[in-house]
A and B are shown apart, each in its own frame.
Chain A
Amino acid sequence: MNEDKNKGVSRRSFIKGMGIAGGSLAAAKWADATPLRYFKPTAIENPLAAYPDRDWEKTYRNIFEHDSEFVFLCAPNDTHNCLLKAKVKNGVLQRIGPSYGYGKAVDLYGNQSSHRWDPRICQKGLALVRRFYGDRRVKAPMIRRGFKEWADAGYPRDAGTGKPDAKYFQRGKDKWLRLPWDQAYEYAAKTMTNIATAYSGKQGEEYLKAQNYDPAMIHSMEGAGVQTLKFRGGMAFLGATRIFGLYRFANMLALLDSKIRGVGPDKATGGRGWDSYSWHTDLPPGHPMVTGQQTNDFDLFTVEHSKLLIVWGMNWITTKMPDSHWMTEARLKGTKTVAVTVEYSATASKANDVLIIRPGTDPAFALGLCQVIMAGNLYDKDFVENKTDFPFLVRLDTLQPLRPDEFIAGYKDPELTSVKFMQKGEKPLPGMEQAAQFVPESMRGDFKPFVVFDKKTKNYVPVTRDDYGDHAKALKASVELKHRARVKLIDGSEVEVRTVYSLTKEYLDANMTPALVSQITGCPATGIIKLAKEIAKNKEKTIFACGMGPNQFFNADLKDRAIFMVAALTRNVGFPGGNVGSYAGNYRTALIGGEPVYAAEDPFNLQLEAGGKPTVKKYSHYESLHYFNYGDRPLKVGDKMFTGDGHMPAPTKAMWLNNSNSVIGNIKWHYDVVNNTLPKLEFIAYSDWWWTGSCEYSDLVFACDSWAEFKHPDMCGSCSNPFLQVFPRTPMERIFDTRADVEIIAGVANAMAKVTGDKRMSDMWKFVLENNTSEYLQRIVSASATLKGNTIGDMEDKAKQGIPTLMNNRTYPRISSYEQAKSEKPWHTKSGRLEFYRPEVEFIEGGENMVIYREPVDSTPHEPNVIVGKKHAAMRFKSPKDYGFDEKDVSSETRQARNVMMSAEEMLKSEHPLKLKNYTHIYHTPKYRHGAHSTPVDTDINAIWFGPFGDVYRHDKRMPSVVEGYVDINPLDAKAIGVEDGDYVWIDADPEDRPFRGHKPGTEEYKVARLMLRARYYPGTPRGVTRTWHNMYGSTFGSVKGAETRPDGLAKSPETNYQSMYRYGSHQSATRAWLRPTQMTETLVHKTMFGQGIEKGFAADIHCPTGAPRESFVKITKAEPGGLGGQGVWRPAALGFRPTYENQAMKEYLKGHYMKKKG
């Protein structure tokens, strides 16, 4: 080295020096060393002493150093829940990590969970810091200006109709004002009191008639105006006191009704509660039709006990984030994995076999499997004969089960021991003491015996509900599964009878052969046959893990019934390694069986002593939200009312929701709700900590604490894991002017007590107002079989250390139908068995008494909702003519009740009515992989990864946000309609009713509602099928104003900061509400939500509509070029990095040419 340092260092000599010096830098001090001296070879004996000062590293260490830490619970509606550790510096929550406490959880018996549960966190939790401090936090209680003016004016109404002047209700376009908390409570209390009063009694009835509500809806209110007040806690299982609090409030309103109508507790009624699980289309509606249970499921980690895992319509790897490892670990342990999916998903990439089917054809696919199993006699004889209704005989004249007393003279139905009939006035035992199943005496007729044919003795043998499972073996009958014959009845007549198995098999053989199912679904017949045989080979060892994807189609219940049929035929229901589960939404409230002691405490008889036992009495009513987004009306087609009396909604005049953006902001048919339904409402209140699209259209928004700021404890559980998780109180100071959800509810109740003079309304929330919410939690814990023996104090203390509580379940992992599979108990059905034949009148009239296949109601290139089948003795459904409408009428409204049958071949040749108008694509909107509804998807550091259009700099100012919504389209389809990758396109669904009924092009409302978004070339989706993720925040009047007027072009409301991820419209521009007749029956028998009761007809979240939010058939039109500023092709495509645009380097890369195998 001899260069003069003043001459500098050439690149060549520098590299040369580097080569000599290697990694050993000189020991000289930085301060007095010249650069070249570093390159002298140096021998260093003690590197730690000789290396340069590394104090600079402290800078980085200091950045990540924290002053303190605490634990909070992250619990969006994603079926997981994670206790997370927050690190605080200078009073600011700086970062978040896992608690590593899950392996320390124990139950009361000392059973301890495994550390395989740790670490437990996902990217949503990691990014929460940006949400807690986010600019869209609801920072204080806010009131809409027009609404305040209406209230301040004394709630003036039109004398004839009772309607307020529309000038007060310019929702979405109005100004907002901050309120002090006491005033916010008072406005809510006064308004609800006013509305309940206005719509009570004769005057209320006249008002509602004048407002054109369906008479059946008005009748359902029984004159009580409080029933026009609707409440919903978003997935109530996520908060035993704070979210269930709104249902407690609804129950409390019986006090208000008592005052308004002057009635006693015997006639008083509460407000109405809306459903959650079924509203989100999370409920698999066919589960109660087969098992009687709300949902059959199992803790996800059961999967490693199976040999064959079928992940069906479930993107496990991405949607079950902290629990995705159970699937991959099962595979490592030898479980074969098969994905049944509509695209090549992330989960598909982890599967041994992938079967891709056309969206919405799941029932056909499952029936194809059944056909192979039945035709090949591959079924499990014991399970089928003793645990299902397949051997039962059905009369072909009535399509009802053959009953022993119809053909055996003097036969008396024996008294049953498997179910107790409760006499009128008899009260069931408290939940935990209910060892036996029970039903009201009035339902005795539903539990009559069935009949099987004994092929050995040639006798007909009565089978009662007590003969379930192995108990049936005592009959010693050699069951003839395929029996068909004529039976002479007592009255001398003869009727033809056939087994359920025989009827089903005939349908399958005629319509659901692998060849036909292949044509319907698009899956190769060989794939169907191979999978069916594998399932049959893996008895007790095949797990069907189903997601919500197929739930979102109109034929969802048929899908469930068909999947259960596959499982039942192959002995795969109720076993640790063989079962059916459904995973969507955090529902399983029944796991906290003591919840009614809080949610339904008798407001007339309150327990005000700490440690006292509350009295439960339910005054509130429940109804499905699906009627609200259907325009606040029931399903009436032609001259037929399809909504059963027990399902009938009341008119909605007020609503209060917490923890939920799915009832306005991300509601199906959003723009119809905004433009046609919300104007009928007089009060909308939202409790939230993030300013959502729902807040945009509210009248009063309550600002809630975030999970990190909880000042009242709460608890929740999950359907996918065995932990009870407590939301611990945290030391974090409230960032904004917020309150706890439950504190807000108590505040409104307290204000209502002042308005009405009824102190009981305040007493109802005594322990919340005294800052002792734990008292209510302890009551729930003590009344829950899974929790009794725990104290909420201990549970909260553990939660503060990041340790959840392990629930006391029968098995660990928890396995639904376990006791039934072991023949210890019957299923909660009429027969005590799994039922595949539904003899109720609604099912017969709908052509669905057997498990059959219907085309999707809109997401199909073929004629929608047709029954696929050939003439069959057991298919005697009502025709359109029977209901008073034209058979050719395939409009969306009539289509829901349209029973028209076509053979598979005919159906495949038929066309969607919109095809003639250049509508070309199925457009489905599944839930996004890393989002729980809309909860985290707009957090910028998450959002930028949402598809390929994320750009934190927003180089293209047309972008509504740092990311934007897009439609996935097969590249060949896109090219055929002249759409380049990254172009903006318009998406239009059925113009009859979307984006909303009565839309007029050229209006502001239409501009906001019509969907424009980017097109993404996606070879993973089949041709003819397009997709947009469901979770993104949609356009509002405010966001469109922002996009068109803000200098930065952000689709961000100048008034509220609401941020849309579309410039115009949203994925909900293409969806609509659908009501399905067989989900609105008065007759389906099923288990109650809590305890061992059995009931029939409507039950929120168990038997009620689930909609079809994934169904639409659309036209796609190019709107703008995707290049920067609307010029040319989108840059990544232009550079050759996108599908079909590959440059030479990309082609080489895709062929793997940049990797070379040695040797």
Chain B
Amino acid sequence: MKPIDRRDFLFGAFHASPQAAPAGPVDIGRISHYPLGEERLAGSGTVMVESHPEGLRARSYRPGLAGGIADQYFAIRSDPSGGLIVDRSETWPADRVYSILTGEPARLNTHLEEKA
């Protein structure tokens, strides 16, 4: 039996990693909740939503967990009523965002890359 310390226990109980508990879709509200240039905790504290000029990016959120485990980015989709949903069963690469204009996946920092 694998030993578990208090810290891991609490993390597992309250902030399970996506791999450990790939929960279903998480309602993260609407675009209007995410001003550009800010990041906000959403989905009952399970994801951090970053707002970039190219669109939104949902990052796994693990408070108190320092280093060692890479951030994961999840798919964002919109529902027919303008709501946003993070699908933690699908991970996106770090350079992918949810496009505000199209509601489709788009590339982050494309203009910088193209110029480079």
Interfacial residues, chain A to chain B (CB-CB below 8 A): 92, 132-133, 135, 137, 139-140, 142, 145, 175-180, 691, 733-738, 1054-1057
Contact = CB atoms under 8 A, between A and B. Distances in A.
18 contacts: A133-B80, A133-B81, A135-B78, A140-B100, A175-B110, A177-B54, A177-B111, A178-B36, A178-B55, A179-B53, A180-B37, A735-B30, A735-B32, A736-B31, A736-B32, A737-B31, A1055-B101, A1056-B102
Contacts of B110: 175
B25 interface: no
A1057 B101 contact: yes
Interface in B49-94: 51-55, 78, 80-82
A145 B111 CA distance: 8
A736 B101 contact: no
Contact of A1054 (B32, B36, B52, B102): B102
Contacts of A133: 80-82
Contacts of A178: 36, 51-55, 100
B45 interface: no
Contacts of A139: 31, 100-101
B18 interface: no
Interface string B100-116: 11111000001100000
Contacts of A179: 36, 53
Contacts of B103: 135, 1057
B82 A737 contact: no
B12 interface: no
Contact of A734 (B32, B78, B101, B102): B32
B35 interface: yes
Nearest to B107: A175
A735 B36 contact: no
B42 to A, nearest CB: 15
A1026 to B, nearest CB: 35
Contacts of B111: 145, 175, 177
Interface residues of B, number: 23
A228 to B, nearest CB: 29
Interface of B: 30-32, 34-37, 51-55, 78, 80-82, 100-104, 110-111
Given A176-B101, A179-B53, A1054-B102, A140 B81 contact: no
B25 to A, nearest CB: 16
B37 to A, nearest CB: 6
Question: Which 10 pairs across A and B sit closest by C-beta, in order of nearness?
Answer: A177-B53, A735-B82, A92-B81, A180-B36, A1057-B102, A736-B31, A737-B32, A133-B82, A178-B53, A734-B32
Given A137-B82, A736-B32, 11 more contacts: A133-B80, A176-B101, A177-B53, A177-B111, A178-B53, A179-B53, A180-B37, A733-B32, A734-B30, A735-B32, A737-B31
A142 B101 contact: yes
A789 to B, nearest CB: 39
Nearest to A701: B101
Nearest to A92: B81
A137 B31 CA distance: 12
A735 B104 CA distance: 18
B32 A738 contact: yes
Contacts of B31: 139-140, 735-737
Contacts of A137: 82
Contacts of A737: 31-32, 34-35
A328 to B, nearest CB: 37
Contact of A1056 (B32, B37, B53, B101): B101
Contacts of B36: 140, 178-180
A54 B86 CA distance: 39
Contacts of B55: 178
B102 A1055 contact: yes
B34 to A, nearest CB: 8
A598 B95 CA distance: 48
A415 B30 CA distance: 69
Indicate the member of B78, B102, B110 with the most A CB atoms within 10 Å: B102
A175 to B, nearest CB: 6
B94 to A, nearest CB: 19
A145 B110 CA distance: 11
Indicate the member of B53, B54, B80, B104 with the most A CB atoms within 10 Å: B53
A178 B82 CA distance: 17
A142 B55 CA distance: 11
Contacts of B54: 177-178
Contacts of B52: 178
Contacts of A92: 81
A177 to B, nearest CB: 4
A734 B29 CA distance: 11
B101 A691 contact: yes
A746 B104 CA distance: 32
Contacts of B30: 733-736
Contacts of A176: 101
A733 B32 CA distance: 9
A664 B101 CA distance: 20
Contact of B35 (A175, A177, A180): A180
A890 to B, nearest CB: 46
Nearest to A141: B36
A1056 B101 CA distance: 5
A178 B50 CA distance: 13
B82 to A, nearest CB: 4
Nearest to A1052: B102
Contacts of B100: 139-140, 142, 178
A987 B93 CA distance: 46
A177 B109 CA distance: 10
A173 to B, nearest CB: 13
A139 to B, nearest CB: 5
A737 B51 CA distance: 12
Contacts of B34: 737
Nearest to B36: A180
A179 B36 CA distance: 7
Nearest to A736: B31
A1052 to B, nearest CB: 9
Contacts of B37: 180
A1051 B34 CA distance: 30
Contacts of A140: 31, 36, 100
A709 to B, nearest CB: 10
A145 B54 CA distance: 11
A337 to B, nearest CB: 43
A736 B82 contact: yes
A499 B53 CA distance: 71
A137 B103 CA distance: 11
A265 B92 CA distance: 59
Contacts of B80: 133
A737 B53 CA distance: 13
A178 B100 CA distance: 8
A48 B21 CA distance: 51
A249 to B, nearest CB: 25
A177 B55 CA distance: 8
Nearest to B101: A1056
Contacts of A735: 30-32, 81-82
A135 B104 CA distance: 10
B47 to A, nearest CB: 19
Contacts of A1056: 101-102
A143 to B, nearest CB: 8
A680 to B, nearest CB: 25
A733 B104 CA distance: 24
A176 B54 CA distance: 7
A460 to B, nearest CB: 73
A903 to B, nearest CB: 59
Contacts of A1057: 101-103
